[in-house]
Structure 1
């Protein structure tokens, strides 16, 4: 409903001309048919994040749902039909990567909307060529804890961002960068907060950490943990799969301290239930470590100093900086997306910004 409301306010403007007998104005027009490729972690939400603004701006859609969680999207299509959506405006084509590649290359597809990994996003963009695109790709934190931070609040936020959806969120707690003066106290607070994490059946009301979605994600966690051990990081909690579960995808909630900057836990998006802790000696070093990364989606900073908060908001190389809350904070009106010069994509998803991205800004010029 928010996109429907914003669509009626998607207005152009009248501009003065340097030529006296000319009148110029702008308006928004549909792009055409969008090829939409969505991930498996939020299959319904991310379908709606493209289709709702796309419909509101007059576009048609061909959607390739995630191969691991396609039934949610197919059920949503049944709801579209029941609601009376005109035939052809939303079309579902299920399949694996080859289906997505064919969709991206198809001459009848005018633009591409993608949410997923940076590796897949790179392949999509190479195939799409000059087609219009909105790309929301991988994230890697960070959550920065300054010396004056509320450590209990920061620890709870870090833990929450690691167990939410089993850490399978693009803005999860991928890296925690802590001031050395409060490092020990923060680690203790993280371990206390981790005591509240319960791994098990996600349909059990007492459980807040379920299994990973697929073997690829679990194997990546295994690789990251093996690399951390080899590099001398301290595994304070978890670090392995739990045996005797219905599947082999139940991963223990994991806390790792003294994480080297060049380790896989620091350099790559783990996409699992892990809190990797790095340390810096002062605010300059904390900011440098936070920005020493090829990705740049969303970060957070904990501090009670407004000047320091504004500095990190303005200088952290991510699309959004959350102050004194989890990196997983999200609001439907946020213009969500990555920072420039990073491997996280471009365009914004949320509020009016997706409407703008999914429409053409055009200009009319009249002679009087």
Structure 2
């Protein structure tokens, strides 16, 4: 194992230890009640509400999916998707958040299934059970996919056994989630969103330098037909431009519709300490989403320009999603300190995966324990 790999591994391990320690410390101060565990005692501030909602939503798609999509076919697919997600984020905070917070307090509901049941005065908890089962059926595999992503990350970086790495990831996530509950999850999501933001900022600056400057990046993108167009895409198989129709634009924008039904995001609205603070949360969340996804799209453009210089290989298909990993490997080759920075960037990818998995794990466990077992 090279010195760079040792530095990267040490950085990631320190991050995982920090996550567990923080979760335990928060758990010791949390209220010992169902509302305290699943909603943080409804005492979450506007910053944590905004950033935990966005971090738990974005997952590794922000650091791998969007840059990979932009790298593969240009700005159209990635940008229309990002625009749809930004609109969905804003409208979810604007139309749903305050009403959900207000009614959930009046109805004394601490989970989304119980809120739906009490809101419509169910005598028998049929809808509540159905909604709880839907959460379990879809979230348990989603959490498993997050653990699988952790296993693949460690396996590709260090050659660790895939299953062992996935188990380690599960132990870390379950430990701070089960001890600290919602307060620990929300706080860790805030920290993880900061790490994700720092990773995006560092990698885009490093990529621009490696590509030969901003002018070189733009010049390279302009040479690829349709790469910078919102109504065309770059077709790597033909080397030409392909049309990007109205139906595809609507399909990409429709990604934002998912926000209105995501339990692990909606529960953030229920947990904020004051419904009037949701206005500030909406502004923070909207600003962060626009900036972070814009940078993520640009990383795909920058990464393609770096590949043209030969510093990283050209990527095809699903391998384009690893462009940040490839740029991090390039950064780590410049010495010990750059290797530590590269470790922080890769910890950002890990943080993105964990921030979604922990929130979905908590939503699934609340649906099972509160709604199915008890009610």
Give the TM bin, normalised by the shorter chain.
Answer: under 0.3
Higher relative contact order (CA 8 A, sep 6+): 2
Of structures 1 and 2, the larger Rg is shown by 1
TM-score where L is the length of structure 1:
0.23
Larger helix proportion, structure 1 or 2?
A: 2
Larger strand proportion, structure 1 or 2?
A: 1
